[in-house]
Structures are given as structure tokens and as C-alpha cells.
Amino acid sequence: MSQDLNYTSEEMMTITAARRFRDNATCFVGVGWPSTAACLAHLLYAPEAILVYESGAIGSRPQVSPLSIADPELADTAVFIATVPEVFSHWLQGGRIDIGFLGAAQIDRSGNINSTVIGDYGIPKVRMPGAGGAPHIAAHAKEIVVIVRQHPKAFVSRLDFLTTARCKGPTTVITDLGILATHPTSGELILTSRHPGVSVEQIRESTGWPLISADRVEETAAPSDAEVLALRELNDSTQRAHDVKLHAA
């Protein structure tokens, strides 16, 4: 592991998430960081991971990260395209998803997620997009990986709104500071790994509840130069692909 490149905490987070994809696992992928991590995983670690998108694209091999969940890139590279009702009935409810990758605005110590409102539901401070597919992804995937920046406003003792109930299987939360995972008996999210250069204390201060550490907190493997370069190249080509305009608005 060389550390010649000064990687950012966001790159650390994305690379750590990408390492979670497995060959032949069906991976349900949301937009944003999960999508970038999925592309990187296909390039570096799990070329045979089966990517499933809620737009119905199944088995896609996107070369650039999609800007929306229904980008033509996902349709063009899919093995086939299901309808949205089929995605939720045949695929999620049918138990055909191994790992679901999600984002979150707020998460609590049990792994419940809020993506609906900040503030009071009736007169919200910020009205956010809402549930989308997340509640059924968490309900039916065998395990969940949540990718979210760690700060006290996101890691809260009490959610403003419970949009997505915790997964019955294991939840792993990958942040820009470390990795949290559900404790097998208590079911609470505990700190299992800290990223290089980050202290346990710093992670505790960035968490809105008294975060418990595992008996042994690992240090996450630092990104290799190859990982960092692959991610930057992916981000560059994604940027170029989405900037190309063949027509006026």
C-alpha cells in the first residue's frame, strides 16, 4: 500500500464501499455514492457482481456512474430490463437481492433511516425527497450497506422521521471516518473500523449517540494508488459523459 497520493476522506469512503461488492452477489444500487462504488467495484474487485437498479435495469455494466437511476447507460448495458413493479415484487420481495446499498440523511443507533423531513413533519424545516425504494430494499435485502458522511446531524439519537426501518440482516455503515456494523446480539451499530489517520475519539464526537466500539477496532486498509487512480479516472469520465450535450434544451 503506497500512500503517495493524497486521497480525500470522500475517496476513502467510496473505495471502502466498493470493496463490499462481491462476485455473483445481486447488489441493489441507489444513485450517488452507491452507484460510483458499484462502477469501481466492477473495475477492481468484483467484475461479476450483479447490479440491480430500481428503474428495472438488471445486470448492468455501466462504464460511467449514472446521474439518475434510469440513465440510458444502465439500460444499454443491462442483461434485461424489468418493470418497476417487477423489481419490487419479483426481485426484492422475491428474496433475490443479496446486498442493498443505500444513502441516508439521518441514521440512528439501530440503523433506521430518515430521508423524508428535517424538523416537524407537518411544518418541515427541509422537505426531502422521501422514501423511494429504500423501505423495501432494507426489508428484503439479506444485508444492507449504508454510505453516509459522519457528523452529529446525520448520526442522531432520535430520527425526525422514520422512513426506512432497519434491515433484519446485518447493516454496515461506511462513512468518511470509519465503519460501523450491527452488533450480532444487541443489534446496535458499533464502531468496527476507523480509517487511517482518524481517531476513535473523533468518530465518537461525530456521532449523535454514545457510540460503542467493538472489542478491537480495526484500521481500514488505506486506498492503494491503483484504487485512487481508478476512482479519479472514473469520476473524470463520468463528468465528461454527462457534460456531453447533443441537443439544446
| Interacting residues toward other proteins by CB under 8 A | 31-32, 54-57, 66-72, 74-75, 80-81, 83-85, 88-89, 92-93, 116, 121, 123-136, 138-140, 161-165, 242-247, 249
- Give the closest residue to 7 by CA, choosing from 223, 247, 248: 223
Catalytic pick among 10, 11, 54, 233 = 54
Closest CA to 128 of 142, 119, 114, 117: 117
Residue 161: CB minimum distance to other proteins, A: 5
- The 8-class DSSP code of residue 110 comes to T
Shortest Å, Cβ 224 to other proteins = 29
Residue 20: partners with Cβ closer than 8 Å, 6 or more residues away: 37, 41, 99, 101, 145, 172, 174
User: CA 32 from chain center: how many Å?
Assistant: 8
Q: Cα(35)–Cα(193) distance, rounded to whole angstroms? A: 23
User: In a 3-state reduction of DSSP, which class is residue 211?
Assistant: coil
Q: Which residue type, as a one-letter code, is found at position 97?
A: I
* Minimum CB distance to other proteins, residue 144 (Å): 13
Residue with Cβ nearer other proteins (55 or 150): 55
Task: Name the residue nearer to other proteins (CB basis): 95 or 152.
Answer: 95
Residue 125 or 216 having the CB closest to other proteins: 125
Residue 36 CB, nearest approach to other proteins (Å): 12
Contact predicate 222/5, CB 8 Å: no
Active site residue 54: yes
Residue among 1 and 248 whose Cβ is closer to other proteins: 248
Active site residues: 54
